Amino acid sequence: MNGTNHPCAVDSEVVMVCDAAFDRLTSQERAQHRRARAQAAKEAGGPARKDDRRPRGGPGPGHGGPGPAAMHAGEKAADLRGTLRKMIAFMGQFKLHIIVVLIFAIGSTLFNIVGPKVLSEATTALFEGVVGTIGGTGSIDYALIGRILVVTLALYGLSAVCSWVQSWTMTYVSQQTCYRLRAAIAHKIDRMPFGYFEKNSIGDTLSRITNDVDTLGQSLNQGVTQMITSAVTIVGVIAMMLSINWLMTLITLIMVPVSLVLVMVVVRLSQKHFFAQQRLLGQVNAQAEETFSGHAVVKAYGQEDETIRLYNQANDALYEAGWKSQFLSGLMQPVMSFVGNLGYVAVAVAGALLAVRGTITVGDIQAFIQYVKNFTQPITQLAQVSNVLQQMAAAAERIFAFIDQPELAGEDVRADAASACCDVTFDHVRFGYDASDPVINDFSATVREGQTVAIVGPTGAGKTTMVKLLMRFYDVDAGVIRLGGTDIRDFARADLRSSFAMVLQDAWLFKGTIRENIRYGKLDASDAEVERAAQGACAHHFITTLPGGYDFEINEDASNISQGQRQLLTIARALLADRRMLILDEATSSVDTRTEARIQQAMDNLMAGRTSFVIAHRLSTIKSADLILVMHHGDIVEQGTHDQLLSAGGFYAELYNSQFADFDEAEDEGV
């Protein structure tokens, strides 16, 4: 994401995604509202709904993703080979470092392998010296033994140095891989269609960025180095054993097929559980994150037991996959130790017989026995590495599955949104989150520059969907939306959205000071500009009563200020942004009537000379609009001014009489 002078600042496209889709990460009310809709959808057996009919899978970020029943603990990777190819291709950018790792790993292993052979000469010299001393035919050559020990020490020292270099380099590669994968995921989020975040769990996405990337990095650091050194050790040890005695080498190699068969059996049994473990971990994270966000609603509705039941259900599935994968992978060590001990005994017996015949020296027997130990150890390590590589493959598959998600279609930018006038035309617009179930059927309307347009209608009529289409969170299925006579698809999304300021029903604030949250609308604004915007939104008074004033720290879910105060801050942010067009989606729904009356003049001043789209049920906003579009079932059924629509006595009049008549009576009585 693009860096700015505030860590939460991103490019304009991500700003809009955050405002419209990531609210729940910092807004407790967003989580509460979502949970209520999710429960209603569950009871109704259909998708959750707010203002529009939404695609099945959840109405917003953080809601959706597979439930416990959808996570099959035995499910295997969809394309293991493809994932490994992608991983190898991604690692190609570190090929020089990997070559260095390979060279020094080979060097470390070879120096370590040669050591026992050199040391065997010291053993032989010592043995022959002892025998000669006892028989009176000679003595121990301490000078020769000393030289041999110095050479051996030098070999092991060089092995340690090479091991340190390859370990340091591989650590750099693994950490850089994690860093670049996280960056790739962050940049991918910028290019993802808005619909992805309405259908998929944010908790699962966060798990890919954190748990899966960390698992991949750790597995890469441990697994690749171990795989290289183990493979080189096996080849080198076989060569050294052949140089000593071919018969004992053959006895040792007979144990290899037995080991490989056992390893393959264990890997096949444990692999599916490793993949299930990673996926279930993402699900548990998603449920925990959502529960913490909606903690107040869980308490208010007494759903603690149900929440715990659902969490335990997912946690039990994770436990089941986890213990099976770890238990099965843990079988490798004792199995390989048993096979190694069999080979060790066989070699010891064969070596003793050959020594009696005088075909092999005592030092060579000692070296060969050490090589047998060094031979079985890397086989055991390769078996253990297979577990690590399974975890890495499972994590990599989830990471690359996200990175390979379809991106926003390429843009053919042929116009400059900044120079376009603010006339907006909806020309026979048709759209559906599901192509077979349109939300907008045949929407046509013309909005002149500077007009304030109110969009009203019952829940599910498609009001918010029209705003999403205007902002190009989605593109129309048919028809066209024009800005200043130009198809909005001819503008870059970021340029188009930079013409709008938004105030949503769900106030989105991040952890930081009040000043930083207001300045989010204009990152280079001075403190004086921030305070003027707060005064215009009637927020200055309550800000000055807080400890620290504009430097008061808002916590992560903004629960240390009221919902109405949060809404005032988002209005101040929009005032500071000073964009040519405004979108107000139930912007004052969380503000009490008296506060709304105070800020209405500021809102009128803000909308003056700007094209404004207002989705609201509040009487004052609707009555003052230049044009009211009445939507029902995805179409405009009426349009006109407030007085014109009331006089027509149609659908709007019915809505008005049912929703606003009581308000008029109270107003007439001076309440």
How do the domains of the chain map onto residue ranges?
1-54+500-578, 80-403, 411-491+618-671
Place of tokens 């992978």: 329
Q: For 331, phi and psi rounded to 5 degrees?
A: -70, -20
Q: Tell me the two tokens of residue 202.
A: 């944010």
Give the model's pLDDT for residue 224. Answer: 79
Residues near 164 by beta carbon (within 8 Å), at least 6 away in sequence? none
User: What's the whole-number average pLDDT of the chain?
Assistant: 77
In the predicted structure, residue 622 carries a pLDDT above the cut 50: yes
pLDDT tens profile 625-637: 888 988 888 788 8
Cα dihedral 62, 65, 68, 72, rounded to 10, equals -150
Average pLDDT, stretch 341-356? 79
SS3 458: coil
* 589 pLDDT tier (thresholds 50, 70, 90): low
pLDDT tens profile 466-505: 888 998 888 899 999 999 889 998 888 888 988 888 888 7
Residue 631 Rama label (left phi>0; alpha psi -120 to 50; beta):
beta
Residue 105 Rama label (left phi>0; alpha psi -120 to 50; beta):
alpha
Average pLDDT, stretch 348-368? 79
Give the model's pLDDT for residue 526. Answer: 94
H helix count then E strand count, the chain: 24, 12
* 528 pLDDT tier (thresholds 50, 70, 90): very high
Give the model's pLDDT for residue 64. Answer: 34
Residues near 408 by beta carbon (within 8 Å), at least 6 away in sequence? 191, 192, 193, 493
Q: Which amino acid is at 566?
A: R
In the predicted structure, residue 284 carries a pLDDT above the cut 70: yes
pLDDT tens profile 194-238: 888 878 877 788 888 888 898 888 888 878 778 888 888 888 888
Residue 326 to residues 93, 223, 270, Cα–Cα distance (Å)? 33, 16, 8
Among 147-156, 362-371, 533-542, 629-638, the least confident range = 362-371
Q: Which of 122, 128, 125, 124 is nearest to 155 (CA)?
A: 122
In SS3 terms, 582-625 reads as: EEEECCCCCCCHHHHHHHHHHHHHHHCCCEEEEECCCHHHHHCC
Q: How many CA atoms lie within 13 A of 44 on its CB side?
A: 11
- Contact (Cβ atoms closer than 8 angstroms) between residue 317 and residue 281: no
411-491+618-671: CATH class = alpha beta
Q: Does domain 80-403 have CATH number 1.20.1560.10?
A: yes
Give the model's pLDDT for residue 63. Answer: 33
* 598 pLDDT tier (thresholds 50, 70, 90): low
Q: Distance between CA atoms of 517 and 7, rounded to whole angstroms?
A: 12
In the predicted structure, residue 116 carries a pLDDT above the cut 70: yes
User: What predicted TM-score, i.e. pTM, was given to this entire model?
Assistant: 0.62
Average pLDDT, stretch 106-118? 83
